[in-house]
Structure 1
Amino acid sequence: MFNVVRERDPPRWTKRAGAQPTASWMSYMVRELLQDFQMNCLQVSDSPYDEDVANTLPMKHYEFPTGYNDDFGSVRLMIPEALFDPSNVKGVGASILGVGPLVTTSVGMCDMDIRPSLYGSVVVTGGNSCLQGFSERLNRDLASKTPPVGISLYYQILRNSMSMRLKIISANSSSERRYGAWIGGSILSSLGSFQQMWLSRQEYEESGKLILERCA
């Protein structure tokens, strides 16, 4: 139980008597709280993070289960910026790619013939894609880096009378985006043609991980 406190005042709450929640339940509720804070407060900046610009945006009020409440300003944009520029995170440096470079690097590792198709169907899914402004920022970052990718690809595009068209595909529902990978996996596993691709535990134990490469 908690008492209502003024903004930024320390929370005043007491534990309920009786059975206490398990560690797994507490872990689940912490994740739910973080997701709720993410959905209601955090926002991806339209361009690389600029504190002066961030301070001009409206603040958002959020109340935690303990009763503590506050208005959040520039931090709303600073936290999700790590997804696009991980170098701002201490101890990470340039060892991790941001979302934009991750897409361009992944596409660049594929055959040249299919790169236009890949850029034309960039699927945005997962919990972080629910952040306000995520798809718009990704679209801007990719639009400035994708076409044309290399001279050879440029000539190939001219030869085939094609144009590199970037398209971000994002489900309207936040639930569908958050669980898109699981939904897609369930659809794939239910296909009749996929049933022949299953590997048994016995097959894996006999051949090890090399059997996955042979099946691929």
Structure 2
Amino acid sequence: MLAQIVLFDGFDPLDVIAPYEVLAAAALVADRGFEVELVAAGGPREVPSGLVPLTLRATAALDPRRADLVVVPGALGSLADPGGGEPTEDSIPVLLGRTLTTGLPALLEEALDREGVTVATVCGGSLVLAMAGLIEGRPATTHRMGLGMLTAAGVRALDVRVVDDGDLVTSSSVTSGLDLGLYLLERELGPEVAIAVEELIAHERRGTVWRAATGRAPGAGVDGHRVASA
């Protein structure tokens, strides 16, 4: 299975590295796993993060025709002015908004439309999808400071650690990239693989996973249900 993790100017490094290491570690503990690539909408390049001067290299272009899983991180920058002033050029909302002027939204739309592809997000990654108008009406989560932005974009914002809505899996704050990666391993490769990676990285998942009601799990209601992740 191929996982492509998206880089864009100003990305949050931990949003990228946490799921990268978790997903890649599956191959160390099992006979199956993910091949993981760092990608960018425009193809291979050095991509500056929001943590100057750290950069990561995208080794390939984001390609929903190849990927089984696409992971979108959030941004790292200054916070919005609590007094309601104009956001600065290095603020998180501005950095996320700049992705809309690139080829990323069209590629993410293709990924969501393509059968068999899961799009996952960490922290503000769901805001990229929301601002692009790609997840209106769907349940999703993000950092608590961004839940209002999700709601304003017509998304059903949920204040939980991970939200599983089938081909869209979103996670909340920065460190949730670890929990997202482990949950995706459990969902795609089985609990044995997820537990083995948990033990390898000495991390226990936090919070709950909210799953859309699909009829697969006992007790699922029409609005979905919360499932303990540990």
> Per the shorter chain, which TM-score range?
under 0.3
Structure number with larger C-alpha Rg: 1
**TM-score (norm: length of structure 1):** 0.28
Relative to its length, the structure with more strand (as a share) is: 2
Relative to its length, the structure with more helix (as a share) is: 1
**TM-score (norm: length of structure 2):** 0.26
